[in-house]
Each structure stands twice: as C-alpha cells, then as structure tokens.
C-alpha cells in the first residue's frame, strides 16, 4: 500500500469518527410536532432558511422510526416523474396505455413502508407542483398506490432565499401541515458536540382514543358552528395562499391532529404549532381560544351554587367565566341570580386578580331592579369597581365603605 493510499484510509477513518453521533431525550417542540404529524399520517412541509438542519432532522427521524428514507429533489424532476410515464403495451386499443411509476416509488412499495422526503419543493415549477397533487393527497404515482406505511415530508425555503423559487400553488399548499423550522442555539451546539435530540413517536394511550376523537370533533365543530366564515378562508395574497389556510380539507386535518395530540398528552405549544400550521394563524388562534373555553364551568351551575364555585386560575379564562355569568344573568334576570353573581365576583376578588372584576361588576350593577336590595357581599368590592348610575344604592355603599 502506497503512502497516499494509506493516508486516504486514515482520512476515511477520521470521517467515520466525525460522523458518529448519539441522540438523547430532549424537549424539542418542533421535533415533537413533526413526529406527531407523521404519526397522524399527514403530509408535512418544513419551511426554513437553507442550512438550518431540515434534511438532517428528516434523516435522524427516519433512523429513529426505522423507516427507509427516500429523498426526491422535486425541482430536478419532470411532471411525468410523479404522474407516471406512458408505456405502450401489446394492444393499447384494448388494454390502454399504463402509466409506469419511477424506480423510487417501486422501491417504496416493495419495502411496504418508508419516509418519502420531497426536498426543495419551493423550487419546483408549477407544472411539477400540479403533478405532485395526487401523490401528496392520494399517495398514487401513475398506476401505483403507495402502501399505508409510507409517510410524506417535504421541505422548502422561503421564496426570498430559494434558488429560482416559486410560490406554492394553493391546491398543493392546502394539502400540507406547514411547520416553520428554526434552529435552536443549544440544540445546535450540543449536536455539534455529538449529541442530537432523539425523535420518538408519540405514546398514544389506548384508553384515551375514543375520548380524544370525541374531544377533537367537538373542538372543531363548536368553533365552526359559531364562526361559519372560518370554514373556508383562502387568503387574497399569493404568498399567503402558498402557506396554511382554512378549508374543509385543512379542518379535517386539524381534527385529526387534535385527536392525536389529545391521545398523546402533547403540550399546548405543540398543538399550537400544528393547528396554526394547518388552518393558519388567525383561525388557529381562534380554535385554541375556543378549546380553552370548552372546559370552563357552566354559568348556570355557578349561579346555582356560587359558594362552591371554583374559578380558573388563568386570567383570560377567569375573565371569560365572569363575563359568561353576567351574560346569563342578563338573559334571565332574577333577584336570586343577581345576588349569586355578586357572590361569584367577590370570590374572584378574594382569590386574586381584582382588576378582572371591574367590567363584569359594572355590567352586573346595571342589571339591578329598583326593588332589589344591594347584597352585603358587595361591600367587599369597595374601591375596586365603579358601578353605574342605575345602581345608585350599590354605589352609595361602595363609597361609604371606602371612607
């Protein structure tokens, strides 16, 4: 062996050592969101600047999930590579002309499972994007049907940093869960030291599955019943149409993600990434807020037994409960319900955040009838609320206590 050859062998050994890395369990919100969407068998599109580790994350994910990784650079393929190449048989008049799939699709079918990585999606021209529609939604390439064990993940750079980039067409964009992929300083530093976060599939609890499905359906339907305009909202600008936006298809995807996140016990941060990455920021935030209110106590139950009421600790949820109580009294005003509402407001003041009581107390005071005596409990609100002129007797007590 010559000296140069020996040096190449040593170089290869050094490269092997540099490529040896380990993984560790480490909280990573975006990685958990990615694995949850993959588990839910939904196509995922990772958006991020070049060089921040999108491809490396997919490679590590495939290894962790024991899935063979098939990478296809969308921008260097022709539309026929995804729709299938016509092959003329012996008797095309009787048998037709079948569409032959590419070799990578055949390998995926033979393996029965895999992670199909469509890279550089934003540099694929419109004709290629159109050919990808059936692959992403129906998992078909020509006459070949990909097996259920194949998951699809794509990656794209923003148009501003993509080489000859194109905006994604609205039909293709609406088929993906869009995740903004950003680098975490601590993760990068530790990874360069040889240890990267470990991607693990979410642990679904079998006994929670029926409850998770019920909750997900209720969460989506409650919001859309109250906000029918959210069912379909295609953005007006070309750039936003190439991202996440609300449609019946994306709401169905959202429902599935909520069910999986509920069954896996995922954090609110993970769910927020997934929901906003499917129907967009506006509808996504409305859904999250609506879900927060789904488990709030019924105002009628609180009015029936105000002494036993337990109010939420979170300020926005507590405010929603108090507003709901006042609205219930407004809808059916009686002396007993009015008194009970004051008891609840006093309880809210005593347990913290008295500023949250100002608006509901002022509104509640305006609901007083002339023959209703002011409850003694209102004295505890002295100096915290300003009641309206219709509640003049209540205002007198508040001022008297404050002297």
Tell me the pLDDT of the chain averaged across its residues. Answer: 85
* pLDDT computed for residue 211 by the predictor: 94
Whether the pLDDT of residue 183 is over 60: the answer is: yes
Whether the pLDDT of residue 134 is over 90: the answer is: no
Contact 354, 373 (CB under 8 A): no
Confidence of residue 376 (pLDDT cuts 50, 70, 90): confident
Over range 308-323, report the average pLDDT. Answer: 85
Q: Which residue shows structure tokens 């913290």?
A: 352
Sheet with 69-73: strands ordered across: 69-73, 113-119, 149-156, 44-47, 177-180
Higher pLDDT, residue 163 or 310: 310
Over range 265-294, report the average pLDDT. Answer: 93
Confidence of residue 172 (pLDDT cuts 50, 70, 90): very high
Whether the pLDDT of residue 96 is over 70: the answer is: no
d(CA 286, CA 230): 10
Contact 25, 157 (CB under 8 A): no
* pLDDT computed for residue 113 by the predictor: 93
* pLDDT computed for residue 395 by the predictor: 47
> Which span out of 26-40, 313-327, 387-401 was modeled with the highest average pLDDT?
26-40
- For 90-99, 249-258, 310-319, which range has the lowest pLDDT when averaged over its residues? 90-99
* pLDDT computed for residue 238 by the predictor: 82
Confidence of residue 391 (pLDDT cuts 50, 70, 90): very low
Whether the pLDDT of residue 230 is over 90: the answer is: yes
Confidence of residue 164 (pLDDT cuts 50, 70, 90): low
- For 21-30, 179-188, 306-315, 348-357, which range has the lowest pLDDT when averaged over its residues? 348-357
Whether the pLDDT of residue 14 is over 70: the answer is: yes
Q: Counting beta carbons within 10 angstroms of the beta carbon of residue 114, is it exposed (0 to 12), middle (13 to 18) or buried (19 or more)? A: buried
d(CA 121, CA 74): 6
Q: Please enumerate, as own/partner, the contacts of 91-98 that have beta carbons within 8 Å and a separation of 24 or more.
A: 98/142, 98/143
- For 58-67, 246-255, 332-341, 371-380, which range has the lowest pLDDT when averaged over its residues? 371-380
Backbone angles phi, psi at 194, to 5 degrees: 115, 0
- For 52-56, 205-209, 274-278, which range has the lowest pLDDT when averaged over its residues? 52-56
* pLDDT computed for residue 215 by the predictor: 94
């Amino acid at each position: 062996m010559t000296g140069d050859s020996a040096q190449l062998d040593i170089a290869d050994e050094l490269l092997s050592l540099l490529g040896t890395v380990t993984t560790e369990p480490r909280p990573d919100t975006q990685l958990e969101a990615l694995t949850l969407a993959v588990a839910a068998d939904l196509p995922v599109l990772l958006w991020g600047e070049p060089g921040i580790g999108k491809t490396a994350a997919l490679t590590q994910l495939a290894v962790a999930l024991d899935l063979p990784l098939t990478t296809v650079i969308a921008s260097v393929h022709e539309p026929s590579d995804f729709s299938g190449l016509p092959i003329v048989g012996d008797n095309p008049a009787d048998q037709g002309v079948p569409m032959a799939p590419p070799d990578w699709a055949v390998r995926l079918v033979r393996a029965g499972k895999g992670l199909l990585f469509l890279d550089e999606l934003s540099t694929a021209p419109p004709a290629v994007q159109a050919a990808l529609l059936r692959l992403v939604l129906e998992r078909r390439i020509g006459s070949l049907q990909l097996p259920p064990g194949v998951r699809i993940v794509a990656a794209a750079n923003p148009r501003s940093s993509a080489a000859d980039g194109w905006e994604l067409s609205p039909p293709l964009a609406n088929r993906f869960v869009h995740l903004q992929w950003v680098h975490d300083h601590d993760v990068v530093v530790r990874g360069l030291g040889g240890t990267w976060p470990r991607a693990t599939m979410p642990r679904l609890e079998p006994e929670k599955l029926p409850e998770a499905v019920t909750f997900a359906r209720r969460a989506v339907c409650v919001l859309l019943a109250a906000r029918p305009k959210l069912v379909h909202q295609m953005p007006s600008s070309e750039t936003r149409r190439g991202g996440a936006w609300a449609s019946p298809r994306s709401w169905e995807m959202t429902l599935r993600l909520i069910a999986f996140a509920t069954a896996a016990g995922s954090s609110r941060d993970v769910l927020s990434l997934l929901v906003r990455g499917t129907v967009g920021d506006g509808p996504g935030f409305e859904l999250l807020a609506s879900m927060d209110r789904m488990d709030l106590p019924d105002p009628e139950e609180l009015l029936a037994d105000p002494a036993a009421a337990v109010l939420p600790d979170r300020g926005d949820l507590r405010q929603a409960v108090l507003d709901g109580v006042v609205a219930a009294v407004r809808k059916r005003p009686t002396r007993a319900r009015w008194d009970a509402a004051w008891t609840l407001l006093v309880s809210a003041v005593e347990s913290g955040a008295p500023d949250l009581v100002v608006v509901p107390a002022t509104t509640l005071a305006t609901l007083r009838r002339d023959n209703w005596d002011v409850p003694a409990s209102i004295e505890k609100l002295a100096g915290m609320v300003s009641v309206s002129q219709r509640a003049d007797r209540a205002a007198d007590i508040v001022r008297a206590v404050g002297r």
